[in-house]
Structures are given as structure tokens and as C-alpha cells.
Amino acid sequence: MDQWRDRGVWRRGIVLAVIAALLGLLMLLHTQLPNKIGNLGSLTETFLPWLGLAVPVLFVLALVRRSATALVALLLPIITWVNLFGGLLSDKTAKGGNFTVATHNVNAENPNPAATARAVAASGADVVALEELTNTSRYEKALAGTYKYHSVQGTVGIWSKYPLELVQPVDIQLGWVRALRATVRTPQGPVAVYVAHLPSVRVKFNAGFTAGQRDRSAEALGRAIAQEPEKRVVLLGDLNGTMNDRSLAPVTSQLRSAQGAAGDGFGFSWPASFPMARIDQIMVRGMDPVSAWTLPKTPSDHLPVAARVKL
């Protein structure tokens, strides 16, 4: 204990203290990071929870250096991270609900579409959304016994146990169809279901986080949802972005994340081999999420996700 009473404990580890403070400020002020420079803000927000991994590393280094200054500085990133993500650490799932949905980016190069379709159907979902469809007939055949109603628009599809009406593509400014809208006639009344697959993003050394096309599509999808006349709305799909990503605000500002409201943990869905971000989303309006979860891995590079809500 004498070594911690030494006045040197406040002079040692100044560099560590500065790093800890900068880490805390980065998390606290992430919304101020500019997107004009390689979409730096969106890139940081996509993997924002992982910045917390630096905290235990800095903590160990502070102990090794016997630096009280560094330990005090660590309070900023710790408090900020808990404030941002602490609520996701608890299990908020509950029993009940009367409408289950699931979504899965099946991967265009999926080697076993039938097994993938059956795995998603095993969730017991009343409505299933699939994205990145190429071999549509194999999915249709595998799901025919469970879902009486379905529609495929471009590379996205919806399968439902309840009747579908007013199914139509949604223009998300791509030049081809990667989104649809349908009315599902549930026993509790109509629900507008949107299925969307926003453009992919890339991290390039010379261009940063290239997300311009995705951002334009998010704006178009947001406009479509804003004009939706039904009070109850569900959005299912691969948005190629997280709820923290400011560029998805045209969509996320209108809807509630089922995982955030009723999930257990972060619910990361991509990449399936080592999930680091939840880019596959289930979002709702006009209904209460009861539970949300990820489904077991399929041959796709994404994990399927599901949620149960109360209509």
C-alpha cells in the first residue's frame, strides 16, 4: 500500500491518462465526428461498443504503472460506455406476444438454400423476410409447407402464415428492387411489413467508409415509411448499419429496435463466423416488442434474427 501513497502515483502514467480521456471523449462525443471525411462518424458508430475493450487493457497498464492519475481518467470511458450500452447487457426478454417475425440475409452464394429456409422457419415466425435471394424456387419449395402466402420482389421476399395484400416494391433509389412493402392481415388486424436490403458499405484505405449509396437508400426508405398509412409497422432486413449509425436516422428515428427494447445482449448478427455488429434489424412502430433473439448459424455469412411483439 505504501507504493500507492507515494506522490509519484499522480505523476506516473500521464500518457495513459491522456489516452483514457481521449477514449472517453471519443465515445461521449461520437456524434460530433465528421462524416465528410471518409464517413468517419458512421464507421466509428458501427463498431462503437467495441471501443470498450480498450478499458480493461488501460486498467491493467495503469495498475502496472501504479498510476492513480490513469485510474481516475478511466472513469470517463467507463461511465460513458455504461451509459451508452449498459442497458443492453441485461436480459429484457419477456413472455407473451402474439406476432413473431424473422429476417435473414441468406447470402446469394448460399450452398444450401433449403436447409437455410427450414432453419429460419423453425423459429416459429408468423412472417419471414429473406434478403439477397437468387435461387428463389428452392426457398419457395422449402417454405411452402409452413407459409401459405408469399411474394418475392427482386432480391427480397416475404413469407407469411396470414394473407398478404398490397404487396409492392419500394423504390430505394438503386435502379433495381431490393425492398418491398406488404400488408399482413393478422387476426389482430393489419400490419404493414417492409422488407429491405440496403446497399453494402466498404472500408477502403483511400476512401474511408464508402456508404453514400446506402445513405441515399436509407433516406428513400425513410420517406416511404413516413408516408405509411397503417399505424402498425414492422421493418425487417439487412440495413448494412447499426442503430448507432447516424446515417440511418431517416429510418431509425421513426421506429423502435426490437433488440434494444426486448433483447438479451447486443444481438450481433454479422459476420456469422464472429459477429461484431448488428446490421440485420427488426424495427417496429405501433406495437410492443416482447422478446428478440438471434437464431443459430446457417450457411449464410449473416445470422438470422427474430422477434416477438404484442399487437
Task: Write out pLDDT tens, residues 257-285.
Answer: 999 999 999 999 999 999 999 999 999 99
Strands 189-197, 233-238: pairing is parallel
Question: What is the average pLDDT across 58-85?
Answer: 95
Take residue 295 and report the three cell numbers written for it. Answer: 437464431
300 sits in which H/E element: none
Split at pLDDT 50, 70, 90, the class of 64 is: very high
Q: What integer pLDDT is reported at residue 234 of this predicted model?
A: 98
98 sits in which H/E element: none
Residue 97 has pLDDT above 70, yes or no: yes
Q: What integer pLDDT is reported at residue 28 of this predicted model?
A: 94
Helix, strand, coil percent values for the chain (each to nearest 5) = 35, 25, 35
Q: Percent of the chain at pLDDT above 70?
A: 95
**Cα(290)–Cα(155) distance, integer angstroms:** 29
Inter-residue contact 91 to 284 (CB < 8 Å): no
Q: What integer pLDDT is reported at residue 6 of this predicted model?
A: 64
Take residue 44 and report the three cell numbers written for it. Answer: 466509428
**Cα(275)–Cα(86) distance, integer angstroms:** 19
User: What's the whole-number average pLDDT of the chain?
Assistant: 93
Q: What residues contact 46, with CB distance under 8 A and at least 6 apart?
A: 209, 241, 242, 244, 245, 277
**Cα(126)–Cα(186) distance, integer angstroms:** 9
Region of residue 141 (left: phi > 0; alpha: psi -120 to 50; beta: else): alpha
Residue 301 has pLDDT above 70, yes or no: yes
Split at pLDDT 50, 70, 90, the class of 208 is: very low
Q: What integer pLDDT is reported at residue 205 of this predicted model?
A: 47
Question: What is the average pLDDT across 126-132?
Answer: 98
Q: What residues contact 153, with CB distance under 8 A and at least 6 apart?
A: 167, 168, 169, 177, 179, 180
Take residue 68 and report the three cell numbers written for it. Answer: 492513480
Split at pLDDT 50, 70, 90, the class of 170 is: very high
Which region among 66-70, 116-120, 182-186, 303-307 has the lowest average model confidence (pLDDT)?
Answer: 66-70
Inter-residue contact 128 to 143 (CB < 8 Å): yes
Q: Where are the alpha helices (DSSP H) in the chain?
A: 2-5, 8-11, 14-28, 40-46, 54-65, 68-73, 75-85, 113-121, 136-143, 212-226, 249-252, 258-262
Residue 171 has pLDDT above 80, yes or no: yes
Q: What integer pLDDT is reported at residue 40 of this predicted model?
A: 82
Residue 209 has pLDDT above 60, yes or no: no
* Sign of the CA dihedral running 261, 262, 266, 271: negative
Residue 210 has pLDDT above 80, yes or no: no
Residue 128 has pLDDT above 70, yes or no: yes
Split at pLDDT 50, 70, 90, the class of 204 is: low
Q: What integer pLDDT is reported at residue 39 of this predicted model?
A: 77
Q: What residues contact 98, with CB distance under 8 A and at least 6 apart?
A: 188, 309, 310, 311
Inter-residue contact 310 to 290 (CB < 8 Å): yes
Question: What is the average pLDDT across 208-214?
Answer: 71
